[in-house]
Amino acid sequence: MLTKRIIPCLDIKNGRTVKGVNFVDLRDAGDPVELAQIYSEAGADELVFLDISATEERRKTLANLVLNVAEKVNIPFTVGGGISSIEDVDILLQNGADKVSVNSSAVKNPQLINDLAGKFGSQCITVAIDAKQIDGEWIVHLVGGKVPTELNLFDWAKEVEERGAGEILFTSMDHDGTKDGFANEALNRLSTTLTIPIIASGGAGNIQHFVDTFRDGQSDAALAASVFHFKEIEIKALKQELRNNDILVRL
């Protein structure tokens, strides 16, 4: 059985780590390179860096940030935001990223997933999906959750898998920043119908929420931001409690 992964997420805007609620009301959470080093030393399994304004403002993820992070951490990390071509990915991987995350660009050009997986391997390609419930249906949103599409979460996730993505990072916009727990019903459906790993995102507020998403959501990994940034949950204590609940994690 594969170990479950704990992944701090650093949302980057103008070179700083920020965190909001339901994708808005952002507040500063610190220097991303410093936080990355802290999390690496604290026992995080991976890190995710998302330049949340890159797509909106039509600029590329800062490759220099990737270089600086790669010098400071010894765990895998994923970078996303504004990635729309093989050239974008090539630069980020050369600078030290282990994986890239695509979101809006994949919806606009689904062939991009095939192209990236074919060039770099599925293990390097994460597709991030932001969705919220509208009239009882999970609808995919783009550009940092600002633009609704006509895509159903589960249909799009299946297509993403078929096109060669190595894993899916699913963020429930309804749960994001609320600290009320993950969207475990949707996560369970994703995890049981797909064969690639599913990362849970949106809603972490306490240690029990992580226990619940691994048990009830069948998630392969759990991602969180503010509870780590503002020291509400310590990673080592979280992992010990997961072990106490017979959930396999790397200590």
pLDDT attached to residue 57: 52
User: Residue 22: is its pLDDT beyond 70?
Assistant: no
Domain ranges for the chain, please list them.
5-244
pLDDT attached to residue 75: 97
The neighbouring-strand residues paired with 249 are 4
For the stretch 80-139, pLDDT in tens is 988 999 999 999 999 999 999 999 999 999 999 999 999 999 999 999 999 999 999 999
User: Residue 197: is its pLDDT beyond 50?
Assistant: yes
For the stretch 139-176, pLDDT in tens is 999 987 789 999 999 999 999 999 999 999 999 999 98
**Number of C-beta neighbours around residue 24 at 10 A:** 11
- Residues serving a catalytic function are 11, 130
Supply the DSSP symbol for 123. Answer: G
Q: How many angstroms separate the CA atoms of 242 and 197, rounded?
A: 19
Decide which of 117 and 225 is more confident: 117
**Number of C-beta neighbours around residue 241 at 10 A:** 17
For the stretch 57-95, pLDDT in tens is 545 556 888 999 999 999 999 999 889 999 999 999 999
Q: What is the dotted CATH code of the domain comprising 5-244?
A: 3.20.20.70
Beta strands in 99-209 (DSSP E): 99-102, 125-134, 137-142, 147-152, 167-172, 198-201
pLDDT attached to residue 58: 46
pLDDT attached to residue 29: 67
**Given the structure tokens 């990072």, which residue do they identify?**
169
pLDDT attached to residue 26: 67
What confidence category does residue 51 fall into, taking pLDDT thresholds of 50, 70 and 90? confident
What confidence category does residue 24 fall into, taking pLDDT thresholds of 50, 70 and 90? low
Residue type, 69: V
